[in-house]
Structure 1
């Protein structure tokens, strides 16, 4: 009789332990924002003043629900450092082009300075996630940037939302150190996982822009969907080795004043833009490691048959994947300091912190 009681008690105890273990597991998973541990984020400090002290970070956030620690590995760009774009290591050449019709053949695809290497910045700290309030508060306590380490005390508050199943979104709502924008997307897909250019090329999808940009001592904020979208898919050309994609946009609205000097050939230059279809060239490479891609574009009239090495728009980006590892878009940073004659013109730089997510 007693043995039967003990067996029943043991069975009840096993059920209780199982329920407690399951509940604890759920609580641990929920302790990271929406239960998502791996995020890609873009942040910036933009100011309309003419002191040109803008800066941007693009990188990874990893939340550890067991310890409540958070780690941020990032690439850092400061406007005052004049971060001239570099070659990504990939060359834009698409075999589908008819000979003589693509002036970008064999031109390097450029990216942000330092983006071909590992992140040059690292923060570690702690976080508190309030699922009811839909926010996570991060406190950074330790920093290593360009090999220099030290203690810091920086705070960030992010609003947490779920735009679709298997994907989380972070939007910066407050901070203690001058950031003006921040956007991130996260899931439990490995940060080593990445969609190929072939996969991205295979589906026609618009990726909707949101974020903040800077040019001419002005700051522009883009609410999601307000400023348009980048559509990538089969209409783009796939490079022969599947490492990159390219596209030509006709009637692009390129500025004749940027392309055509005010000289005796000005009118002929303006007419040539019309005769050649007013084209803008786009290229994107996926050869970089981790979640890294890079995207560059410029107006044909700036180069005409040559590789353009001056003021293209250069955008290093990190892929957004959902829990199932399905590609959903990018977060990125534009790093396009002005390159030209007559010395440094910082007001002509283009910087941006953005997301392009379907």
Structure 2
């Protein structure tokens, strides 16, 4: 009887011309991955945007119904965001005990939100942001066109903007193919590992378990009025290899490591030629996959123990693959130019560094600047 009633209902629907509601077909996740850490930048020559550069760092979460959401931190060069101390690195040896600086907003959860839709096809991912976090329409909508790159092993996938990867170092022509708005460069990695803090690798584990790896990548930066590309890297030649570098040293808290890089050529200070060592720190930060990376040339400290003026400040998010293994970072640099005495912004926008970067294991790198 129930089956007969069902057939009668279907017959009535057909007779009356009523169409059953369509069920959305599943959309292919980019590379089969739902959770991504992504760095995006609006980096342009000063002649084109008068130093209105910006960076955005966060995560993209793709759903099978064709929707996508990003939670992000954002920094604008013209706002001149100031450095704050996240902790004091006490690493011992010849590594100076100094503040590890970052952006204050990076020590709390991201406040920016976009919501939108996406499509995948033929090695590409098109993302359209249509709403903000409150559900208000973005007018106009913001569109991004990503290249989806295969990664050996299938444990992680990569998206990048056209023109991000290249073997050519030095000045670049800013591409106009990436977005419908001012975003010009981007890099991201995705897996199906949750984005929660429980899937974050500690600084101690990075040093001990992954210290043999050299994490390198691409650094696309706006500085001195132009946009350029160069290599990015961390760990030099690794922790446990015989090199000309001292090894990275751990802080007693386990929350940071420090490194005095002894180099004759890499650190140049015109007015203060000696010494030329570079000081580097990598530190933990809340809330989820956040890490902090800072470095500075010792000669700029002019004999002081620490340098807090125009050190390089980078905010990083860890890349974790499907097996919960650490594979490197995506990040941004937001180094405001400040007065060396007051440590306050000096409005010298040309001397600031605004950048998009990745530092990853060999399989994740893509073409490297200066390397065939």
Pairing 1:49-198 to 2, within 5 Å after superposition: 49-50=46-47, 51-65=50-64, 67-88=65-86, 90-95=87-92, 97=93, 101-102=94-95, 104-105=96-97, 107-130=98-121, 133-144=122-133, 150-152=137-139, 153-165=141-153, 166-173=155-162, 174-192=178-196, 193-198=199-204
Conserved 8 A contact 1:296-1:313: yes
Match of 1:299 in 2: 297
Match of 1:347 in 2: 350
Match of 2:243 in 1: none
- Shift of the 331–289 alpha-carbon distance from structure 1 to 2, 3 Å rule, reads same
Conserved 8 A contact 2:219-2:232: no
Match of 1:310 in 2: 309
CA positional deviation for 1:287: 3.4
CA positional deviation for 1:148: 11
Conserved 8 A contact 1:209-1:230: no
Between the aligned partners of 1:151 and 1:344, the Cα distance in structure 2 is 31
Pick one of 217, 222, 240 that aligns with 1:214.
Answer: 222
SS in 2 for 1:115: helix
Deviations 1:30-64 (A, max 9, x none): 71111100000111111112511001101100001
Which 5+ residue runs of structure 2 have no aligned equivalent?
1-24, 163-177, 240-246, 362-372
CA positional deviation for 1:238: 1.2
Conserved 8 A contact 1:85-1:335: no
The TM-score normalised by the length of structure 2 is 0.76
Between the aligned partners of 2:107 and 2:233, the Cα distance in structure 1 is 26
Conserved 8 A contact 2:123-2:149: yes
Between the aligned partners of 1:251 and 1:322, the Cα distance in structure 2 is 34
Match of 2:328 in 1: 329
Between the aligned partners of 1:118 and 1:62, the Cα distance in structure 2 is 16
CA positional deviation for 1:112: 2.3
- Shift of the 343–242 alpha-carbon distance from structure 1 to 2, 3 Å rule, reads closer
Between the aligned partners of 2:91 and 2:317, the Cα distance in structure 1 is 23
CA positional deviation for 1:151: 2.5
Match of 2:282 in 1: 284
Deviations 1:83-102 (A, max 9, x none): 112222x221114x2xxx44
Which 5+ residue runs of structure 1 have no aligned equivalent?
1-26, 261-268
CA positional deviation for 1:150: 4.8
Task: Say which structure is richer in strand.
Answer: 1
Conserved 8 A contact 1:59-1:72: yes
The TM-score normalised by the length of structure 1 is 0.79
CA positional deviation for 1:134: 1.0
Q: Which runs of 4+ in 1 moved over 3 A?
A: 147-150
